[in-house]
Amino acid sequence: MKNIHLNGKAFKIALISMMLFIGVISIGSMVYVKTNYDESFSRVDKPDPNYSGYLRYNDVADAYERTEIAFESGGNVLKGHVYGNENDKGLVVISAGLGFGAENYLAETMYFVDNGWRVLTFDNTGTHESEGESTMGPSQSMLDLDAALTFIQGDQRLNNLLILLYGHSWGGYAVTAILDSDFDIAAVASIAGFNSPMELLKEQSDSLLGAFSPIAYPFLWIYQKMLFGNTAWVTATSGINSTDTPVMIIHGVKDEAIAYAGASIIAHRDEMTNPNIVYKTCSAAYHDGHNNLFESDAASEYAKAKNLEYKEIYNRYDGEIPDHIKAEYYEGVDRFRTSELDLDFMDEINFFFEEQL
């Protein structure tokens, strides 16, 4: 009887120890997931214009007038602009990638204006000139686009125009997921987009944690649910399949941020039922990644050379580059060259949009 009692006591101790261990692991995992999640979606302020290698509005202000706009999304005021106010062919709404502001897509904005479109751009929540303590998470891009389209509906200067959506990365998800809504969208170009927030988070978790990644999945799921409710489960596929709106889906085979055969929208092409989808796989050198799809070969070559030049300066000063040296470097960067577009790429999208007129 004594041995049975001791065995029972040992079992209870082992069970309690196991429960405590699981509890500690669970709490630690949740803290780890939340910390890394919040860091990944922290606020992104606008870079110092003195240290900018991309085209800025001040570079083209004389040739491209714009009107400032503002609208609310989730309690934050988002800032944006409308370009080409005299154009009436249609309104192209640009949805930016995570960490990028509207000005990062200034070259595309100018291209569309030059081709007769009016263009609306905006900074997402927690980005550049818009309010928000953070960028929230992968579902936020769709919520911000929803707010932008709601603003358009209520603006008499814009609500009579055909609406076309152009989105990259975070925005590539938004412009497709939003199709399962009441907005009247004429056409969509989705570039390097992910299919669903959870697929993206799982892919990033796998890259970061490897074999331990599945431990994080439940906590990612819970945190997404806490932040976004049912919006967290909206997918690009469901949006695309909810309508017959023409959609162009573009992705690079060597995308380093959203894997072509992984979390990308194009990886789900076998699930698409919308009859008006055009798929474009980018595999050419300098046009097969995440951020270089719309760059010209010359822009990619020039940026590569300037990056090597900066690396030499960085190494020379062991990372502590004096301000005047850094300013001198950026003064020598031709921002028109770094921002030069692949016109064949852009013309294909423009033609796709024009087919819907």
Q: Give residue limits of the domains in the chain.
A: 49-196+234-295+343-354, 297-340
In this predicted structure, what is the pLDDT of residue 48? 86
Neighbours of 153 (CB within 10 A): 13
**22 contacts: CB under 8 Å, gap ≥ 6:** none
Please give the structure tokens belonging to residue 109: 């904005």
Architecture of the domain whose range is 49-196+234-295+343-354: 3-Layer(aba) Sandwich (3.40)
In what helix (H) or strand (E) does residue 288 lie, and over which residues does it extend? none
In this predicted structure, what is the pLDDT of residue 303? 93
In this predicted structure, what is the pLDDT of residue 47? 86
In this predicted structure, what is the pLDDT of residue 30? 58
In this predicted structure, what is the pLDDT of residue 21? 44
In this predicted structure, what is the pLDDT of residue 343? 97
**Neighbouring-strand partners of residue 330:** none
Q: Mapping DSSP to helix (H, G, I), strand (E, B) and coil, where does residue 145 land?
A: helix
pLDDT tens for the chain, 357 residues long, are: 545 554 656 555 555 555 544 444 445 555 667 778 889 899 999 988 888 888 999 999 999 999 999 999 999 999 999 999 999 999 999 999 998 999 999 999 999 999 999 999 999 999 999 999 999 999 999 999 999 999 999 999 999 999 999 999 999 999 999 999 999 999 999 999 999 999 999 998 888 778 767 877 888 888 899 999 999 999 999 999 999 999 999 999 999 999 999 999 999 999 999 999 999 999 998 889 999 999 999 999 999 999 999 999 999 999 999 989 998 999 999 999 999 999 999 999 999 999 998
pTM: predicted TM-score of the whole model, two decimal places: 0.91
Neighbours of 148 (CB within 10 A): 25
In this predicted structure, what is the pLDDT of residue 24? 45
In this predicted structure, what is the pLDDT of residue 29? 54
Q: What's the rounded Cα separation, in Å, for the pair 108 and 340? A: 9
In this predicted structure, what is the pLDDT of residue 106? 97
Q: What's the rounded Cα separation, in Å, for the pair 185 and 145? A: 12
Cβ-in-10-Å burial (0-12, 13-18, 19+) of 128 comes to: buried
In this predicted structure, what is the pLDDT of residue 23? 47
Q: Mapping DSSP to helix (H, G, I), strand (E, B) and coil, where does residue 27 land?
A: helix
Please give the structure tokens belonging to residue 34: 């939340």
DSSP 238-277: HHHHT----EEEEEETT-SSS-TTTTBSGGGGGG---SSE
